[in-house]
Structure 1
Amino acid sequence: MRDPSTGRKARRPRTLPAFRPPPRVRRGGAGPGRRFPWPLVGLGLILGPVLGLMALGAMQPTIEFDALEYHLQGPKEYYQAGRIAFLPHNVYTSMPSGVEMLHLLGMTVLDDWWLGALAGQLLVAAFAPATAALVAATALRWGSPRAAWFAALVYLTTPWVFRLGTFPFVEGPLCGFHAALVFVAASGWTAREGLGPRPWAPWGFAGLLAGGAMACKYPGLVSAVVPFGLVAAAEAGRRRSWRIAAAFAVGVAVGVGPWLIRNLADTGNPVYPLAFGIFGGLDWDPGLDAKWWAAHGPRPATGGALASAVIDVAGRSDWHSPLYLLLVPLAFLRRGSRGFAAVLGAYVLYLFATWFLLTHRLDRFWLPLLPAAAVLAGLGADWTRSRPWPGWLALVTALPVLANLVFITTPLCGPTDGTGDLGRLRRAAAEAANPPLARLDASLPPGAKPLLVGQAGVFPVDRPVLYNTVFDRERIEGIVAGRSPGEIRAQLDRMGVTHVYVDWVEIARHDRPGGYGFSPAVTRGLFDDLEDSGVLAPPVAMGPDHLLYRVLGPPRPGPQDARSP
């Protein structure tokens, strides 16, 4: 084709292959002969109810202990204090808290810590459709519209994804960052050299996303910063541009740097409480560090453990979907995207291997591999168009999707009382999470301030409390050590403590073999002595082995008290 003004052959504009839509997308113009988009309508009819139920579930109070101990309790304390501050009694709040800031945002805007937590959870749930869109975009870019539809379908109908949207966990947003990283890094890698004035820009964005993943939780360093940092370094070497690696590093620093700086200022350790042997850390010691790693460190890597882990991740997990096992292997048979599938499959294997070798193998820690696996599942669904595969595809996806849809409507997957009264749900959730603690909160008079021993899931408590997690220094131990009964009473008075609540059930759970362990200074004899010496009144039972003591006033003048050991 020639330019009529010059007579010369016209040059077609160059486009980036990584951003060029597939042929079917380019040809699909609007017109009377265009086919009705039944697949898109069907996808909407399936995913619409999923997202609706997820939103309703997100706006219900949680009973998950981790959320009540730190995911929500940390933002609650920040909101009540009016600032983000170091909490020496809750070590979990010293970890990166990017997701928890969504809850704090809700609390600040609504000026209510309880309603704000629900608003924050709704924001967390919004990451599920956003992640599905990124998964679909990746499958479309390196696959086809069919691959994109199925990738989104597989991801959003996974019960784990629904659960992450209805509970205050950080893995939902973490999956979103990983999905975005895959898309951005793959786009940057496949872009033609020399096109565009800023070839480092996508890698700066990738660094920001990797830093954002680490700002969700420390394992993001291994799952996002390290692997994509290596890809950025390889790209910098391939294109002979140090700016690419520098842009990635700057992006990471912007994404996670504020949390590391906070820890450095608060404790002297940017990754507190990790790396204690290198950086040390305020209010941390070798004993607490050993206790932490005994609970959170890597587990023995044996053949049996590996086989069990493979089975769990492949499908035995309670909230997994069989569609991954059915469709992911087929992605490596699809012509035109085998290279991309191989790289993505290697990344999935890397995430599994690092989860198995470097963590305590809690199931939520392997979930960042779901977005990449969903892309592979979408590619696998479109591995061939030859008959009879389309019919088999409809069959093998319909049954698992139907089963997953039924499952997410049950309490086994998430909250189901989406139309209930919030006041009733608030009381019911507190009672379901910890009946004795709910009874304590309801029975204490206004102005009472209890010291909790052995219990840290305190988010629902609607009054000031003193507590500590099992991995922090035990507060009662610090109060009684080296003090006489009179001095103990005076110290409790200075702290404003009116009652002492002891959860012997939780203490016994920690002290059992395989538990986290508990301070040996906390014994029944200690409280018997405090009762006999007039520091505490006889206890009132709040539960089967949950005792509430009232702190007594000053005794009558008498002989000098003996000091406690």
Structure 2
Amino acid sequence: GWGAVMTAILAHFFLFLFVPRFAHDTLAYHLVIPKTILNFGGFEPNSNLFFNMPHNWELLYTLPLWGGGPTAVKIFSFQHSVLVLITLFSFGRSQWGSTMGFLLALLYLTGPTIQDHLQLAKVENSLSFMVLYTTLAFLKWRENEDTRWMILFGLLGGWLMGCKYTMWGLSGVFFLAALGVILKNRGLNGGARMALLLGAVWTVPVLPWLVKNFWFTGNPVYPNLFSLFGGANWSETLDRQLRHQYFQFFWEEHSGLLNQLKAVLLSPWDLIAAKHLRGRFSFLVILGLFLAPFLRESWTERTAPILLLALLGYIMWVLFPGNESRFLVPVIPFMILGAAPLFHRAIRNPRYGWIVLPALLLMGFSQLRFPRTLQLEAFTPEGYQHILETTTTTRYSLWREVEKKVPPDGRIAVFFEEQVYYLDRPYFYHWFCGNMEILRQAKTPEAVEQRLTEDLGLTHLLLGHRDFNYYLSFNCPSKEEMDWEKDLMEEFLDRYAQKVLEYEDYVLFALGPAGERSGL
């Protein structure tokens, strides 16, 4: 019965692989790399820092993109999710029986975060596959202490580190855990050689990227360690600005997330007892969740249903709204593996078996929010083809125009999504592909006018597409957002009509120090 349920869900998502979604390019974000390789015949020197980071999986996506186009790429990505599903089922069945196997697989398949990205070609679907198999290889090596399993684990961990910068932290955790196992089994003296072997194996999948970066930029770890290696199209000022802007962005985004997480974890306490205790002991709720697995067996049986519901609620609750939820996809299989013993304890005792069915039903009801990716927008074949043809090539061509026509010391203002970004030339392309390194912002025409008049060093102004069919970014807004921003853009153009001589589909304006203007 459960197998039929999973088959039906997979068939449902498989059919959606063949449905093009207007304004959501299959090759968005990470798959720009293989499309660039196919369009320009290989790698080219590129100052964008994301282009100079390891992209192991993107290279593998080049083959289906070349042979079968966007649908083949989506199917290739979908296959990794299916392999994760099968592996979770097999692992649960081998350890605790078929019931646990189906439960772990359903936990993965019915989560809104997974469903939001299941039919899109995004590298996180492949990263979840790599995280799961790296974890299983580590467990197998720790179990039998076979050097061959250690080598396989090292290759998988190194490949994971070479997949994407977001995996560097998790890959480092794997490596430190492996060093802990080596020291525990062999001691400091006997484990030194084994640790060196693991480190050598770990670097093999990353080494080609270090050579490539050194060849193109002179810095194998571009743009890091600039003071030691230097690097093309980079400077100490940009290095400081990048790190400052990144940490500021990280803190602003995640401080709100942590507050939301705290509110969700404490909501049962706040609803029941906060009025009487005024929240003085609220931390005990979180503390109890972490201590419960270490309690005695009889106590654990009593707390396991609570842990089960807490974990289900955590998985169902989408931590990152919108596209940012993709960052959660690779770690969900890791979370499910870690929580599997708790699930087993919860269903092993018949007295607590009743908790499983309501929890699964609760997960089913959570889907009534309808995954974001199934809310298909109206599209036309012509519009979809326009997105496919221009997503990468237009950005790349426009950047080449910027290189030709903007002086090396020129400043560029980018008006996009009710904001104005003031960037120098190297930073312009970093923003163009990453949309993260923001120097300054202004959200209204009045603020734009103030910035333009106050920033006397500004030499260039860049505006987006005049018809709003395509933005100089990775996503198109909804129709309501397009109408609102079109009105804002018209107000902006009216306000600066005396400064703008003409505009085309993509507009790059030069503003001279004496007020002279020329459309580029």
Contact 2:246 / 2:437 at 8 angstroms: preserved in 1?
Answer: no
1:223 corresponds to: 170
2:31 alignment partner, one of 72, 86, 99: 72
- Judged with a 3 Å threshold, the aligned counterparts in structure 2 of structure 1 residues 540 and 374 are, in CA distance, closer, same or farther, namely closer
Tell me how far apart the structure 2 counterparts of residues 460 and 262 of structure 1 sit (CA, whole Å). 22
Amino acid at match of 2:419: A
Aligned counterpart in structure 1 of residue 397 of structure 2, from 419, 443, 466: 466
2:504 partner letter:
L
Q: Is the 8 A contact 2:25 2:391 kept in 1?
A: no
Q: CA 1:302–1:172 in 2, change beyond 3 Å: closer, same or farther? A: closer
**Partner Cα distance (2:123, 2:164) in 1:** 8
TM-score (norm 2): 0.63
Aligned counterparts of 1:92 and 1:258: Cα–Cα separation in 2: 16
The answer to whether the 8 Å contact 1:175/1:371 transfers is yes
Tell me the residue number matched to 2:53.
Answer: 95
| Offset of residue 75 of structure 1 | 1.8
RMSD: 4.9
Match of 1:508 in 2: 419
1:190 pairs with one of 143, 146, 149: 143
Structure 2 CA distance for aligned equivalents of residues 398 and 390 of structure 1: 14
Matched, 1:542 2:467: yes
Aligned counterparts of 2:341 and 2:293: Cα–Cα separation in 1: 5
Q: Deviations over 1:470-524 (max 9, x none)?
A: xxxx9637624399xxxx9xxxxxxxxxxxxx97335834369x9813799x979
In terms of fraction of residues, the more helix-rich structure is 2
The count of residues paired between Structure 1 and Structure 2 equals: 408
Gaps of 5+ in 1: 1-41, 194-198, 317-326, 339-344, 353-360, 442-457, 469-473, 489-501, 532-538, 552-561
Alpha-carbon distance in structure 2 between the residues aligned to 1:285 and 1:300: 24
Q: Secondary structure of the equivalent of 2:348?
A: coil
Is the 1:146–1:382 Cα contact (8 Å) retained in structure 2?
no
Aligned pairs for 1:239-278 (under 5 A) are 239=186, 240-242=190-192, 244-278=194-228
Measured after TM superposition, the shift of residue 103 of structure 1 is: 3.1
Q: Are the equivalent residues in 2 in contact too, given 1:328–1:377 (CA < 8 A)?
A: no
Q: Structure 2 vs 1, CA of residues 93 and 303 (structure 1 numbering), >3 Å: closer, same or farther? A: closer
SS in 2 for 1:391: helix
Deviation track 1:80-110 (CA, whole Å, cap 9, x = no partner) reads 222233333x432222222222331123224
Q: Distance in 2 between matches of 1:212 and 1:482?
A: 37
Task: Report if aligned partners of 2:27, 2:121 keep a CA contact under 8 Å in 1.
Answer: no
* Fraction of identical pairs, as percent: 21
Q: Distance in 1 between matches of 2:296 and 2:73?
A: 41
Farther off after superposition, 96-105 or 474-483: 474-483
Q: What is the letter of the counterpart of residue 439 of structure 2?
A: G
Please name the residue that 1:379 is paired with: 341
Q: How far is 1:202 from its partner?
A: 0.9
Residue identity opposite 2:382 in structure 1: R
Q: Distance in 1 between matches of 2:222 and 2:157?
A: 19
CA-to-aligned-CA distance 1:230-260 (integer Å, 9 cap, x gap): 2322333313355543443233222222222
**Residues 507 and 399 of structure 1: CA distance in aligned 2, closer, same or farther (over 3 Å):** closer
SS at match of 1:283: coil
CA distance in 2, matches of 1:428, 1:548: 19
SS at match of 2:467: strand
CA distances 1:300-354 after superposition (whole Å, capped 9, x unpaired): 49996574263599799xxxxxxxxxx9998667969x9xxxxxx9xxx9xx9xx
* Contact 1:173 1:216 survives alignment (8 Å): no
Does the 8 A contact of 1:150 with 1:377 survive in 2? no
Shift of 1:375: 2.0
Written as runs of structure 1 = structure 2, the 5 A alignment for 1:135-174 is 135-140=88-93, 142-174=95-127
| 2:261 is the counterpart of 1:310 | yes
**1:210 paired to 2:160:** no
Bigger radius of gyration among the two = 1
Gaps of 5+ in 2: 268-288, 301-306, 315-322, 424-435, 442-447, 469-485, 491-502, 508-515
Question: Is 2:181 the counterpart of 1:235?
Answer: yes
* In 1, Cα distance between equivalents of 2:254 and 2:31: 38
C-alpha separation between the residues in 2 aligned to 1:51 and 1:147?
19
Residue 175 (structure 1) aligns with: 128
CA distance in 2, matches of 1:291, 1:73: 25
Residue pair 2:111, 2:363 contacting (<8 A) in 1 also: no
Normalization by structure 1: what TM-score? 0.59
